[in-house]
Amino acid sequence: MKILNGLDAIADYLGISVPENLRAVEKAYPVRANTYYLSQIDRNDPWNDPIWKQCMPHPDELLDYDASFDPLSEQEQTVAPRLIRRFYDRAVLLSTNRCPMLCRFCFRKRQWRSGEPEQDIADNELAAVCDYFRAHPEVKEILISGGEPLMLSNARIKKILEALTSVPSLEIVRLGSRAPVTWPERIDAELVGILSSCRGLWFATHFNHPRELSDAAIAACTSLVSAGIPVVNQTVLLRGVNDQPEVLEELFRRLIRIRVKPHYLFHVDPVKGVRHFATGIARGREILRYCRPRLSSLAMPTFAIDLPEGGGKVSIQENYFDGEKFETIFNTRVKYPEALE
């Protein structure tokens, strides 16, 4: 896997010429992809390819001039260096701002333009984070996020996990990584050994389309699961990428087949430069109504939106029947035992 920075390097690798209308987009938002993920693009029809759309810029990124870069108020909810706490028992650690690929729908797109150099968590920051957890034993779970946490070396990851799990009240580590999708060879045997010996570790990955489940990606997930690490998946509902019910049905079905639990399906957050991927909540509900009668509950994720201003996640449910129809069926067919009437 080689990281390619900039449209020219990527177009060169793909053997295409750069469309001129993408140059301005690249000026506003950098472009980065890697040879593994790019190799999954269907060369016969790249422009409509769900993999292309996730890593290649689109002119609509520039239309979104009035939205916020941080609608979820992550910056205000920062309680220690790199640590965001919105909920009672868990907090998010931004372990690095580096990524092997820039997903165009990234909800932390603000980190791309901050002008800050790429940086990983430093020893003194890690110590301050551990101090925070010692002072707040009600926080039981840390979500290690980024950037891509697996841009850190195995030795660094080991050190971070050891520091965190030295806090007795910290029971659960949720490692959020797209590496199984964008960089499967990163899930090497040494890393799997480090992760499987960390107590309370769950691996949360991020497949958005069944086409991303290549043999290599499946092998990466299998090596985690076989080492006893539970793997869950979050999907973002993306217009033009995966907003077809049949596509998500297939994705969720294929994930449970490899013992990866579909955990969340998120509606796109109203982040600047990202909103052209939004489908609307109604579309998400339609997809849930399609999927629920067809899929095992193991395969059904929770559909959720993140409220603005750090209000938290709200889940949206759909059932086999719509509410009114269900009520009628229930009232006409279900007979209570007399004692209950």
Ligand X SMILES: *Cc1c(COP(=O)(O)O)cnc(C)c1O
Q: Which residues bind ligand X (CB under 6 A)?
A: 84, 86-87, 90, 92, 143, 313
Q: Least Å distance between CB 236 and ligand X?
A: 13
Looking at the Cβ atoms of 90 and 285, the one nearer to ligand X is: 90
* Residue 228, preceding peptide bond in cis (omega within 30° of 0): no
Q: Least Å distance between CB 95 and ligand X?
A: 14
**CA 205 to CA 199: how far, in whole Å?**
18
Looking at the Cβ atoms of 90 and 98, the one nearer to ligand X is: 90
Q: Least Å distance between CB 112 and ligand X?
A: 19
Q: Least Å distance between CB 267 and ligand X?
A: 13
Burial state string for 297-334 with b = 16 or more CB within 10 A and e = fewer than 16: eebbbebbbbeeebeeeeeeebeeeeeeeeeeeeeeee
Q: Which residue is nearest to ligand X (CB)?
A: 86
Looking at the Cβ atoms of 60 and 141, the one nearer to ligand X is: 141
Long-range contacts (CB closer than 8 Å, 24 or more residues apart) made by 213-219: 213/251, 213/254, 213/255, 213/258, 214/40, 214/184, 216/36, 216/184, 216/185, 217/180, 217/181, 217/184, 218/258, 219/184
Those residues whose C-beta lies under 8 Å from the C-beta of residue 221, and which sit 6 or more positions away, are: 180, 205, 231, 258, 259, 260
Looking at the Cβ atoms of 257 and 313, the one nearer to ligand X is: 313
Looking at the Cβ atoms of 57 and 262, the one nearer to ligand X is: 262
Q: Least Å distance between CB 234 and ligand X?
A: 8
